[in-house]
Amino acid sequence: MVHTWSSLISTLFLLLLCITGLPLIFHHEIDELLGYDPKPEIAQPGAMKRSIDEIARTALANDPGRVLQYILWDKDEPNTVVAFTNNKVDGDPDAATLRAYDAHTAKPLGSVGGGPMLIFLKLHVDMFAGQPGKLFLGAMGFLFLVAIVSGVVLYWPFTRRLSFGTLRDKSRRIAWFDWHNFLGAVTIAWALVVGATGVINTLAEVMLSQWKANEIADMVKPYAGKPPPVHLASLDTTIERARTTAPGMNISFIAFPGTPFTSSHHFAVFMRGDTPLTSRLLKPVLLDGETGEVSDTRDLPIYLKALLVSQPLHFGDYGGMPLKIIWALLDIMTIVVIVSGLYLWIVKRRKHRSHAIAGQPSPQPSR
Amino acid sequence: MTAARKLRSSGNWWTVYGGPLLIGVLSVAGLISALLSEGPGRYFSWLALGAPVALTVWFFARRKRG
């Protein structure tokens, strides 16, 4: 019963997640193909990188009347700088404009991450329904986990007389029954990890506001009650100081005062390490918005670390193209499990109705 | 089903959950290895997470017909 109902309620949404997730595995490649992933010009050998202050000025001149929220450095594109502008520092994330700038020439290279993949992404993340949509999909993801665990329990009575990997085609129902069990069994660990990390991701905003309310509030206590900075400190000075505070790390992004990632008085410079794991574990350095002096730096709390580590495990983007292809195949196998499960339920219902027998346990094939 | 096969899979814990469990452990190892190391960890993850796909192809190829 648990297996039937947890799956049935979430089936449609899980199909949506699996189907929209499929192209998203390759969003980088697709964006590149469609021209939504601007590339830097080939830099002259020995060319100096432009100052970040200059890139910030260029970004503001490009989007007049807007403010900067974040400047970001992609780990895999060291010659590009991405600037986020919005109508206000804490503006709606959907209203943000992302533009890439050439690190050596400060030339605008084009906008980042629009196009059809943005539609897939919005459908996958919140179905265009904002935070409630996101939390709803999180609940559906949770039901998916319940369905998987209850499926493990049902696996025993249904397969104990069959050797592992039995795929019969006696009838359509038995064939689908065997495929449901087999594909469910071999994808289970992957599906649990991708499902659970997806659920964790839906809680990102909740975790972020938790972090702001506790850790950040504590870190900026001396600034309580002060008005937001009027003249912002030089970005280059600020970043240089953050680098000195976190030696051996590289900058991931800088959040401007008042954005969701920092306090209203501070720049937050998020530093990253350089191994696959430590590049995800960001370390924030808070710096005074007016002077650029370091205020405080602390490791992220365990729940945000869990969120950051769970992201690659959900996206499948951390092991090169072969891993992406395997990710896509496992996703397709999961789609087959979901569709066959729905089919088996429909067939069982039809059978029950015509025979008017109740209380029979799920789709037990005749032996 | 042959008598031997029936005997082998008459329903003990290991014959039912053993296969899925091994694949599950392998999958988790693959998911983690690529996170920890960019070279060998990555190659191992391809093998470990490719295993469920390969097994599917294998069992599909030798499925019983009729």
Please give the ipTM for the structure prediction.
0.86
Comparing CB atoms, the residue among A163, A170, A309 nearest residue B5 is A163
Q: Is the pLDDT of residue A176 over 80?
A: yes
pLDDT at position A356: 56
HSE-CB for A329 with a 13 A CA cutoff = 17
pLDDT at position A224: 83
DSSP letter, residue A216: I
**pLDDT tier, A159 (very low <50, low <70, confident <90, very high otherwise):** confident
Domain limits of chain A? Answer: 2-28+119-203+318-355, 38-112
Disruptive mutation site among B2, B8, B9 for chain A (greatest number of A CBs within 10 Å): B9
Of A120, A103, A101, nearest to A112 by C-alpha is A101
Q: Is the pLDDT of residue B9 over 80?
A: no
**pLDDT tier, B1 (very low <50, low <70, confident <90, very high otherwise):** very low
Burial tier of A30 (Cβ tally within 10 Å: 0-12, 13-18, 19+): middle
**Chain B: residue whose CA lies nearest to A308:** B35
pLDDT at position A360: 47
- Looking at the DSSP bridge assignments, the partners of residue A190 are none
Query: Dihedral sign, CA of A44, A80, A276, A31?
Result: negative
Kindly state the average pLDDT of the residues A159-188. Answer: 91
CB contacts of B45 in chain A (<8 Å) are 319, 323
Gap from A246 CA to chain B (nearest CA, Å)? 22
Interface of A with B in 326-365 (CB under 8 A): 326-327, 329-330, 333
User: What Rg value do the Cα atoms of chain A yield, rounded?
Assistant: 25
pLDDT for B36-58, tens place per residue? 988 899 999 999 999 999 999 99
The helix/strand/coil state of A255 is strand
Domain limits of chain B? Answer: 14-61
Burial tier of A27 (Cβ tally within 10 Å: 0-12, 13-18, 19+): buried
Query: Do B23 and A189 make contact, defined as CB atoms within 8 angstroms?
Result: yes
Query: Do A330 and B38 make contact, defined as CB atoms within 8 angstroms?
Result: no
**Residue A322 contacts B, CB cutoff 8 Å:** yes
Q: Could you give phi then psi for residue A227, rounded to 5 degrees?
A: -70, 160
pLDDT for A320-337, tens place per residue? 999 999 999 999 999 999
pLDDT at position A19: 98
Of A192, A184, A263, A311, nearest to B19 by C-alpha is A184
**Residue A310 contacts B, CB cutoff 8 Å:** no
CB contacts of A189 in chain B (<8 Å) are 23-25, 27-28, 31
Query: Do A313 and B42 make contact, defined as CB atoms within 8 angstroms?
Result: no
